[in-house]
Structure 1
């Protein structure tokens, strides 16, 4: 912390879709666990990194350990929210029971279950949400559960977010990090032998960030807010970067603004709304697997 009420997050890049989702996930956790802090999120223009602005009282030095303790407590509860298996295989009636149970008194769990429920396909068919990337041997929730279960090397959210931790081999990720796609054309060996290393907690936080992106049923298909589809083109995910610290509801409104996703948005119009840059990536299929491409600035 550079000041008592500012928590900078130097490990997160504004041009990385996984990092942006991780910033949102941490933001949602702070808002759920410590509402009295009145947390706001913004991006530093000079340093190109996100930060949380907190009101009094100042954040305690144990915040990262407190987050881990909360997640471990949830994992050890009557219903482990990270032990549900593959998201795409979960029945809708499971979420109905979870959301109507006493667990809904936990503001974090309420938003977490709602964000997972939005990733489900229609009963009897239908396209899944754009964010969901799972397969026969890939389960995002299993990956999180394994990380939380590792008592030999507990997750250190603070070191990961500060970029001072060592990067570890990660499995069962969401593949939202563009570096997870390794083309054989640019590799000295077989890409499958090159294991992706990362700050492990960032993939957990990124999943929590989905709480800002509802999935809506349209007349002909299901649509994930934040994405834009064009005929015969890959789906595009766009996100804004803003400098003024915003509350959660304000961030949710900005993320879903047509201004962010319009192909014809101008620098002048976005600046007028407090947005200094828009980043855009595409979700593409390669070798029967989905990945996210390196993002490009709109301006």
Structure 2
């Protein structure tokens, strides 16, 4: 098979937003190409590379991505409709935090659709709605499943999305899509050189989207997110499995032992499909606190990173800038 490479200068492996956006790019292009695209990295702190069976330019790739943008009245998640358009049905104001019985019914329907016509909705549903980690509707006992009545139990959602105030994943998805739909140049900018937008907060995936007052000329704190990269990154959430034992959540690439949680991820040198990437993210060697350098090298992993979640008064804050944990930074990296 012919392998055409397209380097993506803006999607750096040492950026949480860049890493997630590269995963989302793969999720969005896979249904549109005759053969599955693959992803690799030029090396530590280096750009992503898209591998395809047909040659692509940055513009033709951006045009391809634009085909996955929802129309104004369409389902926000065009590759797996029927999830982000659900109505809110609980005390949390978030449709993805639904009664557990409803979640199980929906998952059964999505799984049947996957068996009948290979619909991908079940995979997306389980990446966004965790029916194995439950909270109660009673704020006094939130986070602790109630005994007996399951009607009091609600699902949680992915910790990769940090909720602040009244933010929801669906609303953040809609804002990113709106920006890209109104100005398609955001998509090519996401690939080659990020263009920040005033008063756009992003989805708490990018520390640099939060502008402190002393960093801008007008002297006021502001939001300056990257709509195109954020829209891609939200689709990257499909790569991470949500599991748990009802009382404790587990999520691929998420460190629950950190005070506010942390995203951890590898980059690799060999081109991988979406399925292979999920297998690598879940590999015990990648998740080990003291990884074996030789074994990681044998897996093709060239670096490991971590980005801790910050905390704001109204809830979760953006992910911090990434810190490389393997190989250990040298004096030349500092």
TM > 0.5 fold call: yes
User: 1:200, CA displacement in angstroms?
Assistant: 0.8
Where does structure 2 lack aligned partners over 5 or more consecutive residues?
A: 89-93, 137-141, 145-155, 329-334
Is 2:166 aligned against 1:157?
A: no
**What's the counterpart of residue 263 of structure 2?**
237
RMSD: 3.6
CA contact (8 A) 1:33 1:108 kept: no
CA contact (8 A) 2:210 2:225 kept: no
Specify the SS of the correspondent of 2:321. coil
**What's the counterpart of residue 68 of structure 1?**
66
Match of 1:126 among 143, 154, 164: 143
Where does structure 1 lack aligned partners over 5 or more consecutive residues?
A: none
Match of 2:206 among 177, 188, 197: 177
Match of 1:283 among 309, 312, 318: 309
Match of 2:168 among 139, 142, 150: 139
**What's the counterpart of residue 227 of structure 2?**
200
Is 2:124 aligned against 1:115?
A: no
Match of 1:218 among 245, 261, 269: 245
Deviates more, 1:169-178 or 1:250-259: 169-178
**What's the counterpart of residue 332 of structure 2?**
none
Partners of 1:87 and 1:115 lie apart in 2 by 14
User: 1:146, CA displacement in angstroms?
Assistant: 3.5
CA contact (8 A) 2:38 2:50 kept: yes
User: 1:244, CA displacement in angstroms?
Assistant: 0.9
Match of 1:254 among 276, 280, 283: 280
TM-score w.r.t. structure 1 length?
0.80
Partners of 1:282 and 1:152 lie apart in 2 by 32
CA contact (8 A) 1:87 1:119 kept: no
Seen in structure 2, the aligned counterparts of structure 1 residues 212 and 65 have a Cα distance that, compared at 3 Å, is same
Partners of 1:157 and 1:24 lie apart in 2 by 15
Seen in structure 2, the aligned counterparts of structure 1 residues 53 and 154 have a Cα distance that, compared at 3 Å, is closer
TM-score w.r.t. structure 2 length?
0.72
**What's the counterpart of residue 51 of structure 1?**
49
**What's the counterpart of residue 254 of structure 2?**
227
User: 1:225, CA displacement in angstroms?
Assistant: 1.7
**What's the counterpart of residue 16 of structure 1?**
15
Partners of 1:65 and 1:241 lie apart in 2 by 26
**What's the counterpart of residue 324 of structure 2?**
297
1:188-227 CA distance string (max 9 Å, x none): 68x9933232331111111111111111012741111212
